[in-house]
Amino acid sequence: MKNIHRRNVSTIMEQKELEDVIESISPDVLMVVDRERNIIMCNASVKSMFGYEAKEVINKKTNLLYFDRRSDPFHRHEIHDKLEKEGYHIGLAIGKTKDGNTIHLEIITSKLKGRNGVVLLVRDISEHKRPEEKYNSLIENANDAVVSMDEEAKIIAFNKKAEEMFGYSRDELFGKSFLLLIPSREREQQKKVFSELIRTNFIGVPFEIMGLRKDGQEVPIETSPSVLRSGGRYILTVFIRDITERKKMEQRLLQTEKLKSLGELAGGVAHDFNNILAAILGRVQLLTINVKTPTGKQERRKTTFALKKGLQIIEKAALDGAETVRRIQEFSRRRIDDKNFTQVDINELINDVLEFTKVRWKNAAESKGIKIKIRKKLSSIPFTLGSAAELREVFTNLINNAVDAMPQGGSIEFKTFRENSHILIKVTDSGEGIKKAI
């Protein structure tokens, strides 16, 4: 009986000593929690952090102080697996103060040896979270879709633009594989790309692939991946841009180039054919003048008449051919009063071309360590009549020439302004210029 009394006294003393240690730790909150998430011990720091006296939280559930992460199946399994494997878990949660405010928490969970339950060390990291919140706000309101993945290629972040682009809500994709956003035929290749990016911790060069919306529609996208290390783990974040309009513009430019080539070909053929027809008509007309109706036998006059008639038929066919040539030349000729001229916005055309050629002057250049700056000084100018396709071609060629002239990098400037009744466009670059030998 005495031995039992001594053990009870010893247990009480050990518990009192433990409570004293817990009480003395500051400013972090230290709690002992049983299997049912009831708080069985807590130090006095709970007052400064949450506004509760320690006695107010004893025997209460932990969700009094923070939103229980275990309500999310993903987090519940993740915490359990980490505890079983390593004996501890470090995670984040949103805390709830007594006066109704919320705070950001870091919670370190450790298993109790020989007892049911865990020890929690709770730290207020609100001050550290403010820059992160600002960053998250920028990502959330970015013009591009932003998707982040963990090392297992599971989606852990999905901003509003991504929801609009792919048709999924972030809750639908949280914890799911990013391969859901890619057509099945390209998934194996993209898995290899993902593994390589994680392995090399590399900031990838932008590249184009097809994306897959929730409704099954495919959309061309440009992806810019980067890998960051956070908390001992790698996170892959991808900025995604819908390039449907850019692809349409490329097709229009390609079609314009094809039509231009066809026009040049038609003009060349028409010119050569016109020379042939001129020779035929000249000879026919000369023969017609020189063939005279002979006197004498009826048969000879008849033959001559038939010859003249044949020459007339040849002349008529040649004239029909000349008319066809004229129509071909009309098709290929560029006229000032071309009926295809429309109202064009020069500033908008310049912006379109800069976007279209971005792969050349930005992405491809930066992948080689070359930095090219674009400067725009676009004044408020009126619309003008012109061929948008041909003007785009002019600006595209100017940009490509400028890039070629700046192998070490530099700047390109577009300037528009109005002078009397004219619109002026000035394009300058800091390139080395044309060599004297050339």
Distance CA 217, CA 141 (A): 24
62-71, 163-172, 400-409: least confidently modelled range: 62-71
**Coil, strand or helix: which one is 270?**
helix
The residue ranking higher by pLDDT, 289 or 40, is: 40
- Taken in order of first residue, the domains within the chain and their CATH numbers are 22-129 (3.30.450.20), 141-242 (3.30.450.20), 247-332 (1.10.287), 342-429 (3.30.565.10)
The chain-wide mean pLDDT, for the chain, equals 79
Query: Whole-structure pTM over 0.85, yes or no?
Result: no
Phi, psi (degrees; rounded to nearest 5) at 358: -60, -35
Q: According to the per-residue pLDDT averaged within each range, which of 89-103, 133-147, 258-272 is highest?
A: 89-103
φ and ψ at 277, to 5 degrees? Answer: -65, -35
Burial of 392 (C-beta count, 10 Å sphere; 0-12/13-18/19+): buried
Q: Which residue has the tokens 């995670």?
A: 91
**Rounded Cα gap, residues 173 and 380, in angstroms:** 45
Residue with tokens 């670059």: 429
Region 137-152 average pLDDT = 78
Contact predicate 57/43, CB 8 Å: no
For residues 122, 126, 132 and 138, what is the CA-based torsion angle, rounded to 10 degrees? 130
Helix (H) or strand (E) holding 346: helix 346-356
Residue-wise burial string across 104-128, b where 16 or more C-beta atoms lie within 10 A, e elsewhere? bbbbbbebeeeeebbbbbbebeeee
Average pLDDT (135-140) is 64
Cα distance between residue 178 and residue 307, in whole Å = 82
Residue 287, sorted as left (phi over 0), alpha (psi -120 to 50) or beta, turns out to be alpha
- Cα 130 versus chain centre, distance: 27
Beta bridge partners of 103: 95
| β pairing state of 39-42 and 88-96 | unpaired
| Contact indicator for 401, 363 with CB cutoff of 8 Å | no
Give the rounded percent of residues in the chain with a pLDDT score beyond 90. 17
Structure tokens, 426: 């000035």
pLDDT value at 74 more than 50: no
The answer to whether residue 427 scores a pLDDT higher than 70 is yes
Largest CA distance in the chain: 165
Rounded-to-integer distance, Cα 363 and Cα 67, Å: 44
Give ∠ CA 79-172-76 in degrees, rounded to 5.
10
The one-letter amino acid code at 163 reads: E
| pLDDT 10s digits, 372-416 | 999 999 999 999 988 887 788 788 889 988 998 898 999 999 999
Please report where in the chains the tokens 């023969």 appear, as a residue.
287
Single-letter amino acid, residue 390: E
301-345: per-residue pLDDT in tens?
A: 677 777 887 787 787 777 767 777 777 766 666 444 455 678 889
- Residue 145, strand partner residues: 240
Decide the pairing of beta strands 410-419 and 102-111: unpaired
Question: How far, in whole angstroms, is CA 71 from its chain's centroid?
Answer: 34
The model's confidence at residue 133, banded by pLDDT at 50, 70 and 90, is low
pLDDT of residue 307: 81
Question: Are 28 and 117 a contacting pair, CB within 8 Å?
Answer: no
User: Which 8-state DSSP code applies to residue 368?
Assistant: T
Q: Which of 217, 209, 175, 214 is nearest to 192 (CA)?
A: 209
